Structure 1
Amino acid sequence: MSILVQNIIPILKAKAIGNTATAVIDTVSIDSRSLQNSANTLFFALVGPNNDAHVYIEDLIATGVQNFVVLHIPEACADKANFLIVENTLDALQQFAAYYRSRFNFPVIGLTGSNGKTIVKEWLNFLLSPDFNVIRSPKSYNSQVGVPLSIFAINEKHNLGIFEAGISTVAEMEKLEKVIKPTIGILTNIGSSHDEGFLDLEEKVKEKLVLFKEVEILIYQKSDIVDKFILPHTKTFSWSFSKEEADVFIYKKEFEDQNTLIHYKYKGDSFKLKIPFHDQASIENAISCLMLLLHFDYDIATIQSRMVLLFPVEMRLKVKTGINNCSLIDDSYSSDFQSLKIALDFLESQNQFQKKTVILSDIFQSGLANEELYSRVSQLIVSNNINRVIGIGETIAAFKDKFVNCITFKNTAEFIANFDELDFENETILIKGARSFQFEEIVYLLEEKTHETVLEINLNAISYNLNFFKSKLKPKVKIMVMVKAFGYGNGGLEIAKLLEHHKVDYLGVAFADEGISLKSGGIQLPIMVLNPENTSFAAIIQNQLEPEIYCLKGLYAFLKIAKEKNLHQFPIHIKLDTGMHRLGFEEDSIEELIATLKGNETVKVQSILSHLATSDDLKHRDFTLSQINLFDAMSTKIITELGINPIRHILNTSGISNYPDSQFNMVRLGIGLYGVSNDPAEQKYLENVGTLKSVISQIRTIKAGESVGYGRKFMAEKPTKIATIPIGYADGISRGWGNGVGFVNIKDKKAKILGSICMDMIMVDVSEINCTEGDSVIIFGESPTVSYIAKKLNTIPYEVLTSISQRVKRVFYR
């Protein structure tokens, strides 16, 4: 892409301010945090319900970005850059993408449906890439923002596009259709996803089909409801399990080992197709791919030889704990230029070490000549401050000189043979390779070995929940996020890195060692220690943490050590007791507090705070308001008498929602960040963050009269199929969740816990579930939720989350 900004103005119907006559852009961005932003970037300042990118423009200008599409020019930025002022920046992004798409004339496959879009897209890319130079949506970039960003990756060498479109309500698909302009349509499975955005199934189907209003052919599973809304002029190519009049009729399925043999009729003849899956979803997705290959007139032998090689699709970037104090970012199943940019941005958001290494295979399907491709890759590596590149593949080895500090190997086996000489230690490692290079073997070598139970943390959900609560704040109100208790059990450092990436104002921890751990991990944000012990004051000072001071004894102790160390204006936080009666200065000690602090230059009162006892229970509204009023009065007295201007904060997660008029200068977000609300109405707007998973270790069938577990607490009344799962109370599962009270989720079905929960294992009833050893088990997540478990155990979600043992591996993904 190389476009004069002057030529973009009429496309967007924008009012231009600045020197746009000679400005040229070669990339588009919506992410202010990306290190790939440059002087030739066109930045669209998107405004959503939870975020406004205009607040980041001043920082972007400071990093060299010069071209912006905005609703208004921030006051501090006038005359400092080029601005294109539009009525709606998202509409402008889509308009520019539609214009850019119109510059290319080759077949474009548009995919939509409730399920299977990304998998079909990735499989089609695999199946067609030997014959086409494919451009496709990276990962699952199928939203109102993701689709335009995908389109901007097209270049002149591409000759086939595959783009997916996802919608959640009406009037969205028309916008995506204008951007994608598909020539071939594929409708995947229509399920229950996003049902809440539509009146009924018919409205959903009708909206999905808008994507295909101008396609040359539509591929779909024949059904009465879809047929009802297909436009009369649309040419179709249909398949079915039940309707023999479909163009392709699937009349039989046979299962053999791990494969499925599909028997189908097409143009009067019968054929067989073997695919390496058993599950219904994969079978349907594979048939969608078959249909496209038939439409492209591939011969049966080629179809069979390629489709038998289909593979599970990994759609997530995962953060894993590595050997020798390393952090791994596992993206070991794809290698294309666009997804490399995404992975490098993710690396920066999760980087825990100064040293950054990228292990990279040959890059395929870029649409660029190798010389230009690896020059661009080199630029990305430089802009993201990568210290070391390990290239694997004969092509990248040929361009080794384009990279600083680069070592190459001709294949993965050669890398493994030299593994011990590469000295991986105290660094963040991005592992990104095409599937054919089998980089999962590299991940296995670098990953710290733990047992099969993992707590998966969805970083997208954390970002979403953070922005949800930020949207409730008044302008200029700061936000402190609590990452105490190992990030409420979810993983402190990794989450702190993400929060620092989102530029929150403060982090809060309970004890000094938690804060020291974050500082040692490279966190630069100010960190407040809420429950400091006097013996930890020296360590707090040494590590530039900020203590909460809640009593005169603690104040005197801190002032003594501050004087000994000749401190000046060291930040402290004064805690007031307004009714919680846990920690804090009470009213009768305020005078002495003021007298002690007056004229003291060793410390600075950075903030004054208190804590609400019943912010989540509106039955106690009067008591909460009395706390807020007392806090206002006490803090005002301190501020007035000392002549200071500190931050004030009293609201926690529930307080943010229930007492919006009492935000003062800052709020403290805790459990809400992790997707848990005490308000059922609010809960539906939050996204689940943590999913605790394990696997089935063994399956057995016991006879009537036999027992399960310690104490023979469960006695079988009939033959019962039992699955044993390697997780127990040593991992944080309450023993009260056993003996039929609780359940786990296997294959989207409830499996009741039988007998007592053991230290390292639980046993569940899988009599009605078609499962095998090694199958995944969800302990909590979407179902059961931590809130549901807490209610059944007569406790709170905090306890369920924070009980998960440190021996359970945390896997972070986006």
Structure 2
Amino acid sequence: MNLNYTYADLADLLDAEQTQPYKGEIKAVAYDTRKIYHAEALAFFALHSEKDNGHKYVLDAYEKGVRCFVVDERVELPDDACVLTVEDTLEALQQLAKKHREQFAYPVVAITGSYGKTMAKEWLYSLLKDDYQIVRSPKSYNSQIGVALSLLEMSHEHNLAIIEVGISEPDEMEILEDIVDPTLGIFTGIGAAHQENFESEKQHVKEKLKLFKHSNFVFAQEEYASPFRRAKINVEYPSTPAKELAKLAATPFKSTLENCLECALFLGRQPEDMEPILKQLPTVASRMEILIGKKDNVLINDTYSLDLHALEQAVNYLLSLKEKSQKIAVIDLTLSSEEEQRKIEQFIANYPIDKVYYIREEILPETLDLVENAAILFKAKRKSFIKKEIENFKEKKHDTWLEIDQSAILENINHFRSKLHPNTKLLCMVKASSYGSGDVKMAHLMESAGVDYLGVAYADEGVDLRKAGIQSPIMVMNASESAFQEIIKNELEPAIFDIPQLEAFIGSLIRFKKTNFPIHIKVETGMNRLGFSEDDLDDLFELLQAQPEVNVKSVYSHLASSDHPSSTFNHKQAKRFAQYKEVFTEKLGGGLDFHLLNSSGILNFPEYQYSMVRLGIGMYGYIEKQPGLKASLAWYTRISQIKIIQKGDTVGYGQNFTAEKEMHIATLPIGYSDGIHRVLGNGKGEFFLQGKKVHTVGNICMDMCMIDVSDIPCQKGDLVEIIGANNTIFDLAKASGTIVYELMTSISKRVERIYLQN
């Protein structure tokens, strides 16, 4: 958020009784102390829920640095706390959101329905972002609280808003319609979610449509024509252009996409401009995987939990796939108690699913192989055997893939945050395709985690992130002169390391008529790579003070041995950096950020945090001998073929291996072009098959390698662990004669990335 209210403004907007005035501005609001990382200029709303009361946490918020509180109960806080008392804190938050939304005249597109809202929001954003400066609901913020928080993200920097809106009971929508006041709308449709709280589907639709009673136009499927007609709401149904465009996208959710396309066409987007976007339409991160199956089936893989709430969400997804008329559920009960099985069967009986397979032994029915043109839900607990069986139903089986555990990464980020002072900012590095894990996907994850800055090595990485919708500040560590135009155009923030580079960048800014453009100054403290030295400072300050085109946001340097806490050289560097800080503060004034520490530095030298730190490899959990960090990567492949060779036979290029006895040799579809270094050949490489160690045989080839499986009963298609629970990334890096950084960044882009999220 980037609000701009004084304490007096807030008190007036909320009609609140107030204690002593709060001196600073209110830039943002919060209601969950677990998500407070920077408390400066923050107002804490003590909200109520069925299970909890936010007033219990006001002291926690105070200890994190919050000084402005909105409450509807008496609270005990230190004397310097500024308290606004209202009748109802949720209503106060919504009132603030309503008043804030009224400041902006640009269009607001509201999206509702009982499924596909977040998907529609992200797709519409992708279709429109090249023509509009868009603010959109974070994540799936569509509740009474979430809608209010989404509206508070609106600012004068935007010219279009996309707001997701959901309800679970009657009479909720009228409140939300009043605060959102949408100009346009998208209605995704009605499924089974929250249906139990409404008398009928007819009433459910009627309640949803209250959101659009003052909208200019709404985009929906024609099957809902009658409810719209009764409600006297102007509605547009997908035209032929929208239907034809939707065919370009590889998604089973065609009806939702058609609504988005019709809205985008209405807002002026041209079909030819949207065609390339549709061919790489973003997927919406969720617990469920939507897969293209054999025989024109769509597969929903939700083998993560089997409680009734998770089951309801999964079944709702299944029933929302209108393109597939046949709906099938495969539910594994082998890990469930008799009481759990009874409840699940009773629950499923209420849904119009064509066929339900209840699995009570670890084998799937043969008739499932005959299913065609259907939507198939696989639902099970996390340790279910079905996880592996789903591979047999996919249209294309990937034989080598890298699993990236996003939940582990978020836990690691929070682990490092726990080591920081409350006001220390966090810059997360996503250079080198986020250390091989995928730059765009990780950048979205970092943004959702609320990090302050993203860092990339080169401008083209930052440009790709902007094209993918990343709005966070992005620092470019190696800003070459040839990339200045793209840096300026995409509002990236370059690191400047010498006078000629700075002069050239200022020249580019002058040509583009830009002033006050953010830059970051790299100073030399002992690494002897890039950076200004003490001798350069007079010329640097003379240039900075004479040129209004640039605005220094931060000053930074690197420790040469941050992973060696006993090294005295780190302290020498830190002392030199402190001297730089003193000079820059004197010459340029306050408000600058200073940062010296990377991941290891955060852990080993907490006294040198300053106002910002840079987190890289630590996000992934790969700092040795550091408790509390979780490994986030797992790398697997499958056996392509098994051969029996005789004594005297050779294996692979160069005939570097000769069998001394009869052996079973398995070929794996992974080689040095995938990131398996050639040095791992001839027995130096160790992988794991069925939990047992296996060794390489012969040289590593470009696309293949061979392993000895003589002592392990196995077959084609069996899983082989390259990195995982048995073979850590540290083990593989050591065997490869390299470091974890190089190993991670050398995993080829042709290795499929699968993102896991709990």
8 Å Cα contact 2:38/2:423 also seen in 1: no
Distance 1:541 1:771, change over 3 A: same
8 Å Cα contact 1:488/1:671 also seen in 2: yes
Distance 1:420 1:666, change over 3 A: closer
- CA drift at 1:405: 8.0
Q: Which residue of 2 aligns with 1:692?
A: 635
8 Å Cα contact 2:522/2:532 also seen in 1: yes
Which of 375, 386, 391 matches 2:204?
Answer: 375
- Secondary structure in 2 aligned to 1:724? strand
Q: Does structure 1 residue 634 correspond to structure 2 residue 580? A: yes
- Secondary structure in 2 aligned to 1:80? strand
Distance 1:780 1:397, change over 3 A: farther
Q: Which residue of 2 aligns with 1:503?
A: 450
Q: Does structure 1 residue 742 correspond to structure 2 residue 685? A: yes
Q: Does structure 1 residue 659 correspond to structure 2 residue 605? A: yes
> How far, CA to CA, are the matches of 1:726 and 1:693 in structure 2?
10
Q: Does structure 1 residue 72 correspond to structure 2 residue 58? A: yes
Distance 1:428 1:794, change over 3 A: closer
Distance 1:479 1:771, change over 3 A: same
> How far, CA to CA, are the matches of 2:58 and 2:705 in structure 1?
58
- Secondary structure in 2 aligned to 1:579? coil
1:230-629 maps to which residues of 2 (within 5 A)? Answer: 363=192, 371=200, 375=204, 425=279, 427-429=281-283, 431=290, 432-433=317-318, 435-436=328-329, 438-439=374-375, 451-620=398-567, 622-629=568-575
> How far, CA to CA, are the matches of 2:210 and 2:554 in structure 1?
41
The superposition leaves residues 484-512 of structure 1 with CA deviations (integer Å, 9 ceiling, x where unpaired) of 00000001111111111111010000000
Q: Which residue of 1 aligns with 2:348?
A: none
> How far, CA to CA, are the matches of 2:318 and 2:591 in structure 1?
53
Q: Which residue of 1 aligns with 2:737?
A: 794
The superposition leaves residues 522-571 of structure 1 with CA deviations (integer Å, 9 ceiling, x where unpaired) of 00100000011111111101110000000111011111112222221100
* Structure 2 letter corresponding to 1:709: G
> How far, CA to CA, are the matches of 1:741 and 1:545 in structure 2?
44
- Secondary structure in 2 aligned to 1:566? coil
The superposition leaves residues 242-287 of structure 1 with CA deviations (integer Å, 9 ceiling, x where unpaired) of xxxxxxxxxxxxxxxxxxxxxxxxxxxxxxxxxxxxxxxxxxxxxx
- CA drift at 1:64: 12
Distance 1:540 1:766, change over 3 A: same
Q: Which residue of 2 aligns with 1:311?
A: none
> How far, CA to CA, are the matches of 1:377 and 1:784 in structure 2?
56
Distance 1:428 1:685, change over 3 A: same
Q: Which residue of 2 aligns with 1:765?
A: 708
- CA drift at 1:629: 0.7
> How far, CA to CA, are the matches of 1:360 and 1:720 in structure 2?
60
- CA drift at 1:796: 0.8
- Secondary structure in 2 aligned to 1:465? helix
Distance 1:805 1:378, change over 3 A: farther
Distance 1:568 1:791, change over 3 A: same
Distance 1:80 1:564, change over 3 A: same
Distance 1:378 1:733, change over 3 A: farther
Distance 1:472 1:780, change over 3 A: same
Please report the TM-score for the alignment, with normalisation by the length of structure 2.
Answer: 0.57
- Secondary structure in 1 aligned to 2:546? coil
Distance 1:663 1:354, change over 3 A: same
> How far, CA to CA, are the matches of 2:658 and 2:670 in structure 1?
22
Distance 1:440 1:742, change over 3 A: farther
- CA drift at 1:602: 0.9
- CA drift at 1:759: 0.9
8 Å Cα contact 1:71/1:86 also seen in 2: no
Distance 1:529 1:365, change over 3 A: closer
- Secondary structure in 2 aligned to 1:547? strand
- CA drift at 1:378: 8.7
Distance 1:341 1:561, change over 3 A: closer
Distance 1:627 1:659, change over 3 A: same
* Structure 1 letter corresponding to 2:744: L
The superposition leaves residues 302-336 of structure 1 with CA deviations (integer Å, 9 ceiling, x where unpaired) of xxxxxxxxxxxxxxx99xxx9xx99xxxxxxxxxx
- Secondary structure in 2 aligned to 1:581? coil
Across the aligned residues of Structure 1 and Structure 2, the Cα RMSD in angstroms comes to 4.9
Distance 1:545 1:79, change over 3 A: closer
8 Å Cα contact 2:487/2:494 also seen in 1: yes
- Secondary structure in 2 aligned to 1:750? strand
- CA drift at 1:361: 10
The superposition leaves residues 575-594 of structure 1 with CA deviations (integer Å, 9 ceiling, x where unpaired) of 00100011111121122111
5+ residue gaps, structure 2, are 1-13, 17-28, 78-117, 128-139, 151-160, 165-185, 213-217, 244-250, 262-277, 285-289, 291-316, 320-327, 330-352, 354-373, 379-389
> How far, CA to CA, are the matches of 2:318 and 2:187 in structure 1?
10
* Structure 1 letter corresponding to 2:532: F
- Secondary structure in 2 aligned to 1:729? coil
8 Å Cα contact 2:602/2:613 also seen in 1: yes
- CA drift at 1:19: 12
* Structure 1 letter corresponding to 2:714: C
> How far, CA to CA, are the matches of 2:209 and 2:756 in structure 1?
22
- Secondary structure in 1 aligned to 2:447? helix
* Structure 1 letter corresponding to 2:402: L
> How far, CA to CA, are the matches of 1:743 and 1:713 in structure 2?
18
> How far, CA to CA, are the matches of 2:713 and 2:226 in structure 1?
50
- CA drift at 1:635: 2.8
- Secondary structure in 2 aligned to 1:630? helix
Q: Does structure 1 residue 809 correspond to structure 2 residue 756? A: no
Distance 1:439 1:522, change over 3 A: same
5+ residue gaps, structure 1, are 1-17, 21-36, 38-42, 88-316, 327-338, 410-414
* Structure 1 letter corresponding to 2:525: T
> How far, CA to CA, are the matches of 1:541 and 1:552 in structure 2?
19
* Structure 1 letter corresponding to 2:580: M
- CA drift at 1:448: 11
> How far, CA to CA, are the matches of 1:457 and 1:380 in structure 2?
40
Distance 1:559 1:46, change over 3 A: closer
- CA drift at 1:55: 5.4
8 Å Cα contact 1:361/1:433 also seen in 2: no
Distance 1:696 1:482, change over 3 A: same
> How far, CA to CA, are the matches of 2:413 and 2:528 in structure 1?
29
> How far, CA to CA, are the matches of 1:718 and 1:554 in structure 2?
64
8 Å Cα contact 1:67/1:83 also seen in 2: no
Distance 1:650 1:67, change over 3 A: same
- CA drift at 1:700: 2.3
Distance 1:750 1:591, change over 3 A: same
8 Å Cα contact 1:69/1:86 also seen in 2: no
> How far, CA to CA, are the matches of 1:512 and 1:800 in structure 2?
23
> How far, CA to CA, are the matches of 1:377 and 1:542 in structure 2?
45
Distance 1:554 1:418, change over 3 A: closer
Q: Percent identity?
A: 36
> How far, CA to CA, are the matches of 1:378 and 1:769 in structure 2?
61
Q: Which residue of 2 aligns with 1:304?
A: none
> How far, CA to CA, are the matches of 1:433 and 1:397 in structure 2?
23
Aligned length: 504
The superposition leaves residues 594-653 of structure 1 with CA deviations (integer Å, 9 ceiling, x where unpaired) of 122123211011100001110101342x11000011011023212212335310001011
> How far, CA to CA, are the matches of 1:659 and 1:619 in structure 2?
10
- CA drift at 1:44: 7.7
